[in-house]
């Protein structure tokens, strides 16, 4: 059974080693069922907060200081993951997915390390699904066209509702909807290309019979 985890993070900067996670939202799709995880947390003592990051998230240092500890949030996330993944089963892993997911993957992996947990790979495949890359491919195939590929622009172009940009849960809910649209386009493209291929062979076979 294939498992996929759509997730998004809000962070206090762009460097996973020196900046921290303050908001994590995830939607695990297991056998067609959606399971959600969502929490805000304070950073670790050695993490730094960049002013530019605060402008993006709309949070203040006081807001962040009032969130639950990073340790508590991490333990809650591990409990959530263990509900859906057996970390002792080498074949039971989940595909990470998101918008520009490599950025979030680096922060999430570092979050594990900062909490002395070396078993990130026990839960996640190293192969990841980047929704923005899927959109780039669809543009190449002439299926979509956007002025740019910021999440807010894509949502507006595809008619996807984004309630609160740069809120982790709102962003990942929107990303999931975009993925569904992209997936339908990919399926349709495959059907059309297969049909064209079959028609070409049928036409060729008919000419050979004459």
Please report the domains of the chain, with CATH numbers, ordered by start residue.
3-209 (3.30.420.10)
pLDDT tens figures, 143-177: 899 999 999 999 999 999 998 888 999 999 999 99
pTM, two decimals, is 0.88
Cα 51 to Cα 57: distance, rounded to the nearest angstrom? 10
pLDDT tens figures, 5-31: 999 999 999 999 999 999 999 999 999
Cα 12 to Cα 28: distance, rounded to the nearest angstrom? 25
What 3-state DSSP class applies to 123?
Answer: coil
């Amino acid at each position: 059974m294939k498992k996929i985890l759509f997730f998004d993070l809000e962070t206090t900067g762009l460097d996973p080693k020196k900046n921290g996670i303050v908001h994590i939202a995830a939607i695990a799709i297991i056998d067609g069922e959606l399971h959600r995880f969502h929490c805000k947390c304070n950073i670790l003592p050695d993490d730094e907060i960049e002013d530019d990051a605060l402008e993006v998230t709309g949070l203040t240092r006081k807001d962040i200081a009032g969130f639950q500890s990073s340790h508590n949030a991490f333990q809650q996330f591990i409990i959530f993951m263990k509900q859906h993944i057996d970390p002792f089963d080498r074949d039971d892993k989940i595909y990470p997915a998101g918008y520009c997911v490599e950025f979030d993957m680096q922060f999430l992996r570092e979050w594990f390390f900062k909490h002395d947990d070396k078993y990130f790979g026990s839960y996640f495949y190293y192969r990841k699904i980047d929704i923005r890359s899927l959109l780039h491919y669809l543009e190449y195939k002439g299926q979509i066209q956007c002025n740019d590929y910021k999440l807010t622009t894509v949502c507006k172009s595809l008619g996807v509702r984004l309630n609160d940009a740069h809120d982790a849960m709102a962003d990942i809910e929107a990303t999931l909807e975009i993925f569904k649209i992209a997936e339908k386009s990919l399926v349709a493209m495959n059907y059309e290309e297969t049909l064209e291929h079959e028609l070409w062979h049928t036409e060729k076979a008919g000419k050979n019979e004459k």
